[in-house]
């Protein structure tokens, strides 16, 4: 399969990105290829097989915050250059002395790089970097010609992947309308991208949108709101398990709104997701019905995970759920670990609290 076709397939089926990058490395005579989000690896990265250790150290040792190559490279391509290489960006002395090269690149066994900007999503940019190990020649004109031949297709595939992921996020917002849950889609800069009609009904004196950003005139409310937005927009690799994920937003003449922050990007393969998270708003004074299909889509639960979540929301314990579905308690606990990860909860009580804020689940058929 030509490398360009592999990229188009990966744009539709995200699980195929690693294979596409492996093929690209072979076609471009490189030792590895990486697609990542900039700055700060906001939504993660994708890498070919031989870049595994490189990417792990890039993140774990904090080099993503000191990536001078990305800073200079993006400035270079924004001047109209399609591809940047080390030789375009640094002097020979810098290549030997800069900590990024001396302490990191050299230590990983790599040396040479060529990079391009694939797509700009406003709050973040998606970049392509192609790597060669030490002892090989740098990327010269003949190498760059091969890459430039395929680059337009890679860029189109990246734009297609970005549109597909954004459509998924926007679909979540609209589908939550069916369960009378307010939903506000937030980008990586904390700006409002989209909200459904239920969320719009909550906008007023207590909750406002000013210059595409959510605000409250009440100081305490505003702090709560910004903490929740920060929980959504933290870079994937910097998220903390103790981040604030839900709070009450007090209103002057009505019951407080319950607001829950739900990060959309949960794994590195979601690098093309331009939306950072959802804020879910519910009014405790309103009756709501649960749309199990929406809950399943929103948290990407398997059928087994959905049944277990619903059982907990009904007040059943682990053993009762196991007996009801003819499975072992250990199997229920195994599924619970996955449910906690997908819903950003840490224990059963927190999961039940989240589901109850959305609505009381009906019987599953």
Based on the fold, state whether residues 11 and 155 are members of the same structural domain.
Answer: yes
**pLDDT score of 362 more than 50:** no
Q: Is residue 350 part of a domain?
A: yes
Give the model's confidence band at 252: pLDDT under 50 very low, under 70 low, under 90 confident, else very high: confident
Q: Is residue 211 part of a domain?
A: no
> Which of 54, 235, 78 is CA-nearest to residue 129?
54
Q: Is residue 302 part of a domain?
A: yes
- Whether the CB-CB separation of 246 and 261 falls below 8 Å is answered with yes
In angstroms, the Cα distances linking 15 to 11, 26, 44 are 9, 19, 15
CATH of the domain at 358: 1.10.10.10
- Whether the CB-CB separation of 240 and 131 falls below 8 Å is answered with no
**pLDDT score of 320 more than 70:** yes
Q: Is residue 339 part of a domain?
A: yes
Helix axes 141-175, 3-12, angle to 10 degrees: 10
pLDDT digits (tens, 9 = 90+) for 1-49: 689 999 999 998 888 999 999 999 999 999 999 999 887 776 688 999 9
Among candidate residues 164, 184, 208, the one where a domain is terminated: 164
pLDDT digits (tens, 9 = 90+) for 174-193: 877 776 789 999 988 889 98
Among candidate residues 124, 144, 164, the one where a domain is terminated: 164
Sign of CA dihedral 17, 20, 24, 25: positive
pLDDT digits (tens, 9 = 90+) for 90-100: 999 999 999 99
Q: How far is CA 125 from the centre of its chain?
A: 13
Instruction: Please report the pLDDT score of residue 363 as a whole number.
Output: 33
Q: Is residue 65 part of a domain?
A: yes
CATH of the domain at 113: 3.30.450.80
Q: Is residue 61 part of a domain?
A: yes
Supply the range of the domain harboring residue 97.
3-164
- Count CB atoms within 10 A of the CB of residue 328: 12
Q: What is the DSSP string of 154-222?
A: HHHHHHHHHHHHHHHHHHHHHHGGGGT-EEEEEETTS-EEEE-HHHHHH-SSSSEEETTEEE-SSHHHH
**pLDDT score of 361 more than 60:** no
Please compute, for residue 316, the number of CA atoms within 13 A of its CA located in the half-sphere on the CB side: 18
Number of domains in the chain: 2
CA 54-55-57 angle, to 5 degrees, is 70
Q: Is residue 259 part of a domain?
A: no
Which 8-state DSSP code applies to residue 267?
Answer: S
Specify the higher pLDDT residue, 226 or 282: 226
- Count CB atoms within 10 A of the CB of residue 210: 8
Q: Is residue 83 part of a domain?
A: yes
- Whether the CB-CB separation of 274 and 121 falls below 8 Å is answered with yes
**Residues 244, 227: Cα–Cα separation, whole Å:** 7
Among candidate residues 164, 193, 218, the one where a domain is terminated: 164
Please compute, for residue 219, the number of CA atoms within 13 A of its CA located in the half-sphere on the CB side: 0
Sequence-ordered strand ranges (E) for the chain:
32-38, 45-47, 84-85, 110-120, 125-133, 182-187, 192-195, 208-210, 213-215, 246-249, 257-263, 275-282
Quick check: helix, strand or coil at residue 359?
coil
The set of residues, in sequence order, having a beta carbon less than 8 Å from that of 226 and lying 6+ positions away, is: 190
- Count CB atoms within 10 A of the CB of residue 223: 12
């Amino acid at each position: 399969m030509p490398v360009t076709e592999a990229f188009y397939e990966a744009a539709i089926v995200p699980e195929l990105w690693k294979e596409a990058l492996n093929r690209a490395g072979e076609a471009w005579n490189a030792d590895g290829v990486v697609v990542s989000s900039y700055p700060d690896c906001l939504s993660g990265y994708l890498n070919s097989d031989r870049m595994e250790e490189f990417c792990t150290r890039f993140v774990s040792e904090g080099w993503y915050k000191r990536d001078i190559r990305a800073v200079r490279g993006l400035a270079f391509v924004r001047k109209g250059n399609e591809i940047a290489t080390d030789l375009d960006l640094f002097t020979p002395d810098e290549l030997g002395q800069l900590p990024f090269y001396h302490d990191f690149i050299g230590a990983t066994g790599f040396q040479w790089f060529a990079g391009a900007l694939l797509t700009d999503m406003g709050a973040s940019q998606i970049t392509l970097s192609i790597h060669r190990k030490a002892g090989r020649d740098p990327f010269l004109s003949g190498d760059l010609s091969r890459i430039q031949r395929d680059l337009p297709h890679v860029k189109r595939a990246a734009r297609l992947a970005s549109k597909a992921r954004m459509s998924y996020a926007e679909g979540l917002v609209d589908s939550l309308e069916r369960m009378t849950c307010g939903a506000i889609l937030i980008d990586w800069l904390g700006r409002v991208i989209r909200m459904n009609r239920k969320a719009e009904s909550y906008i007023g004196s207590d909750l406002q949108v000013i210059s595409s950003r959510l605000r409250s005139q009440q100081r305490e409310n505003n702090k709560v709101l910004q903490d929740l937005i920060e929980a959504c927009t933290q870079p994937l690799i910097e998220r903390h398990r103790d981040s604030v994920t839900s709070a009450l937003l007090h209103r002057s003449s009505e019951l407080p709104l319950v607001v829950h922050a739900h990060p959309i990007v949960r794994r590195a393969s979601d690098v093309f997701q331009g939306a950072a998270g959802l804020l879910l708003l519910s009014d405790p004074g309103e009756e709501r019905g649960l749309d199990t299909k929406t809950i399943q889509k929103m948290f990407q639960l398997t059928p087994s995970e959905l049944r277990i979540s619903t059982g907990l929301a009904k007040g059943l314990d682990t053993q009762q759920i196991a007996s009801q579905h003819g499975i072992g308690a250990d199997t229920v606990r195994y599924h619970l670990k996955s449910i906690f990860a997908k819903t950003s909860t840490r224990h059963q009580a927190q999961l039940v609290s989240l589901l109850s804020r959305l609505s009381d689940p009906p019987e599953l058929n």
